[in-house]
Amino acid sequence: MSAEEKAQTDRIAWAKWLVSYRSHVRALAPAPPALTASAAEWSAWYNGVQALDIQRAAVMSHANPKFILRNYLAQRAIELAEAGEYSEVQNLMALLRDPYDLHGTAAALKLPHAADNAPVSGTACTPNPTQAIATHLSFEYV
């Protein structure tokens, strides 16, 4: 398959997916009332949409972790533990017990962002050095 054929196949696949996704979203959300509808009808529709947004946000909060362990955090905890300081290991363990915690545990522990003090290492799996640095320097808070 040539590059042009692959690009065409990909465009068709994406177009099909978008049609399917649009149908899915339309099935979830209530249709808006007619433009001539009363204020009460518009208000009821808006409240329904807001309720769906709240439900969607709750589902997303439980499906996507707020905290993801990064190599530089684990390495820092290991180095401190080897020096006899185990508080960082305990902090990370508290976060890893409930990575979906929405109550600010990660912020309360004041973990540094990678860009603040993490050395860049060659651990990223990418042939592009710029992408490797960007991947390594990603934040641990999601």
The two structure tokens encoding residue 6: 């692959």
Question: Residue 19 gets which letter from DSSP?
Answer: H
**Cα-to-chain-centroid distance, residue 40:** 37
Q: Each residue of 53-94: pLDDT tens digit?
A: 888 888 888 888 888 889 999 999 999 999 999 999 998 888
Determine if the pTM surpasses 0.75. Answer: no
The pLDDT of residue 52 is 87
Contact 67, 107 (CB under 8 A): no
Is pLDDT at 138 greater than 50 in this prediction? no
Half-sphere exposure of 75 (CA within 13 A, CB side): 12
d(C-alpha 65, C-alpha 43), whole Å? 34
